[in-house]
Amino acid sequence: MIELKKKTAQAIFGLTGGVLSVDEIFSCLEYPPDSSMGDLALPCFRFAKTMRKNPAVIAKELADSLCLDEAESASAVAGYLNIKIKKEYWKSVVDRINSLGDDYGKNDSGAGKTVVIDYSSPNVAKPFHIGHLGTTVIGHTIKNLHEFSGYRCIGINHLGDWGTQFGKEIYAYRRWGSKEAVEKNGIDELVSIYVKFHEEAEKDPSLNDLAREEFRKLEQNDPENIALWKWFIDISIAEYKKTYELLGIKFDSYCGESFYTDKMQEQIDIMREKGLLELDDGASIVNLEKYGMPPCLILKRDGSTLYPTRDIAAAVYRKRTYDFDKCIYVTSSGQSLHFAQWFKVVELMGYDWYDRLVHIPYGTLSIGGEKLATRTGNVILLKDLFNTATEKCLEIINEKNPGLEDKKSVASAIGVGAVVFHYLLNSRIKDSDFSMEAALSFDGNTGPYAQYTYARCCSILEKAGACEAAADDKDTQLPFERDSEIALAKELARFPEVVIAALEEYEPCDITRYALDICTAFNKFYQECRIISDTGVNMARVRLVSAAKTVLGSALHIICMKTPSKI
Ligand code: ARG
């Protein structure tokens, strides 16, 4: 549709004598909500002043003189030019989708460019809870959108693998933990002794000093503490990977905060040379008052580094290693100030690429209206949420389709997909509340509904394959007869634009909602149109189903969903 819109804009440009540029006209072109008004519309109000004509007159003149091969007719209504596109065009879109397959919808706006995406990044030893759902699935969707647009993408899991929490974890492990328990229960055991530490430290604050001492030893490379710390990280990563696998996520790098330990001094020296560091009660800060922000903390009183210090060193390292065109960070909006502060420091340090750092914030997630607290152990783990959803799906499958092959992995694809889809239906910045019941419903605007539609496409294609031999030649020539066929093809034609818009706004919900639009159009078409009948197979419709399957599949994969062919 982009090409046709460009062509249309070009034709209108020729008729309006340069009042607006081709690009401006292109962006004015709309899809009328009701297709009886046409398939493309141009509001003519912006031409009125310069052309000194009333918009209705302009629309009429354009309708009379527009010359566009693909247009069946053009008309003027209330200052709008409405264009009806020929059926052949929609058929050609379907052919194009079928010939491009999974490449349909891709663009090359990122060709030759590199983007680094820092996302998920849980804190080792603390729970990987549902607050991380956002960064994980929004981050990966944004990575997929960049890949779809031709960028080289580097996904980095900036693990929180350094800091005083390791002193607590090491202390807690020696006091209450055991090798067997950690080997058996993995991360759950690490979290539970960490929680225990906090409970005990409430009663006896001197434990905090002991934990600090363990961290100090870790910093000084004490071999035993280093070995424990590495072990905790390995166990954690192995667990995270199980969750990532459910979402089809792979990272290119797991370089966490500890990786930058020896890379900060160089940056601190630069800050000092540039006169950016000020002492504040013994701590070193960069004063950002001029920029309306509180100071950025670089060194604590005891000389130890902080979260922003590591982020600055990491950004420089990434620039040198990957030479990125953009370096993106996906975190909750609670960290927006942190990013604004250290981005400013990078600018003040004189790095000319400071404006290529992008923070993408998202809102808070609650479950049944409850906010999630860390530390207290009163949290919902991401894997538990996925497990619950999967079990519920398995129950439904056992009830409705007990003979289904590979039930467990289908249940996991649908359960996990349901959670992700439900979450990504909201615009990212909004706070959202999660309801398992709503997420798992098969008839609402849900993941299961979208996956079910996909599976329906697969089963039609399978059947059609079996009947293809019976297909009548003349069926192949059938034009699109019904509005619902054209409506579906039109929906599919929008995909490349949806991808571009979602990438520009860093907005996964554009894709989620678009997947639903395809499902709605598909199901209407499926109700109205016979694809396979006793007399033969309507191949034009089979091709439409095949195109719908391709586009719906691509959209769902972009938002981290799997697409089983049978449900
Ligand atoms: N580990 C942090 C957290 O869980 C997120 C890290 C985000 N990335 C970064 N480079 N600061 O809050």
Distance (Å) from CA 158 to ligand 1 centroid: 6
Low-confidence ranges of the chain (pLDDT < 70): 368-378, 468-479
**Which residue among 376, 393, 417 closes a domain?**
376
**Which residue among 30, 65, 85 closes a domain?**
85
Q: Which atom from ligand 1 is nearest to the alpha carbon of 307?
A: 11
Domain shared by 386 and 529, yes or no: yes
Domain shared by 365 and 387, yes or no: no
Domain shared by 12 and 118, yes or no: no
Q: Which atom from ligand 1 is nearest to the alpha carbon of 311?
A: 10
Nearest of 157, 138, 500, 511 to residue 330 by alpha carbon: 138
Cβ contacts of 370 within 8 Å, gap of 6 or more: none
CA distance 452 to 563: 9
Q: Whose CA is nearest to atom 6 of ligand 1?
A: 121
Is 275 part of any domain? no
Is 316 part of any domain? no
Distance (Å) from CA 320 to ligand 1 centroid: 21
Is 26 part of any domain? yes
Q: Which atom from ligand 1 is nearest to the alpha carbon of 338?
A: 11
Distance (Å) from CA 530 to ligand 1 centroid: 52
Q: Whose CA is nearest to atom 5 of ligand 1?
A: 121
Is 277 part of any domain? no
Is 392 part of any domain? yes
Q: Which residue out of 305, 331, 341, 360 has the highest number of ligand 1 atoms within 8 Å of its CB and is therefore the one to mutate?
A: 331
Cβ contacts of 381 within 8 Å, gap of 6 or more: 127, 128, 129, 130
Domain shared by 443 and 359, yes or no: no
Is 317 part of any domain? no
Question: How many domains, in total, are found in the chain?
Answer: 3
Q: Which atom from ligand 1 is nearest to the alpha carbon of 331?
A: 7
Is 563 part of any domain? no
The per-residue pLDDT for range 190-234, each reduced to its tens digit, is 989 998 999 999 999 999 999 999 999 998 999 999 999 999 999
Q: What's the Cα-to-Cα distance from 369 to each of 309, 373, 420, rounded to whole Å?
A: 35, 13, 18
The domain that holds 22 is classified in CATH as 3.30.1360.70
Q: Whose CA is nearest to atom 11 of ligand 1?
A: 311
Domain shared by 496 and 361, yes or no: no
CA distance 565 to 546: 13
Domain shared by 452 and 402, yes or no: yes
CA distance 459 to 222: 60
Instruction: Decide: helix, strand or coil at residue 381.
Output: strand
Which residues are paired to 83 by β-bridges?
Answer: 40, 74
Length of the chain (residues):
567
Cβ contacts of 199 within 8 Å, gap of 6 or more: none
pLDDT, residue 376, reads: 45
Query: Residue 409 corresponds to which tokens in the numbers above?
Result: 């992995």
Q: Residue 29's CB: how many other CB atoms inside 10 A?
A: 19
The residue type of 481 is E
Domain shared by 211 and 332, yes or no: yes
Is 100 part of any domain? no
- pTM for this predicted structure: 0.93
Domain shared by 403 and 549, yes or no: yes
Instruction: Decide: helix, strand or coil at residue 74.
Output: strand
3-state secondary structure 508-547: HHHHHHHHHHHHHHHHHHHHHCCCEECCEECHHHHHHHHH
Map tokens 């310069």 to a residue. 50
The domain that holds 501 is classified in CATH as 1.10.730.10
Q: CA-based angle 329:332:336, to the nearest 5?
A: 70
Q: Are 249 and 557 in contact (CB under 8 A)?
A: no
Q: Which atom from ligand 1 is nearest to the alpha carbon of 132?
A: 4
Distance (Å) from CA 157 to ligand 1 centroid: 9
CA distance 541 to 100: 18
Domain shared by 538 and 516, yes or no: yes
Domain shared by 489 and 369, yes or no: no
Domain shared by 490 and 436, yes or no: yes
Range of the domain at 526: 382-558
With a Cβ cut-off of 6 Å, ligand 1 is lined by 118, 121-123, 158, 160, 311, 329, 331
Q: Are 518 and 499 in contact (CB under 8 A)?
A: no
The domain that holds 359 is classified in CATH as 3.40.50.620
Domain shared by 71 and 170, yes or no: no
**Which residue among 376, 396, 414 closes a domain?**
376
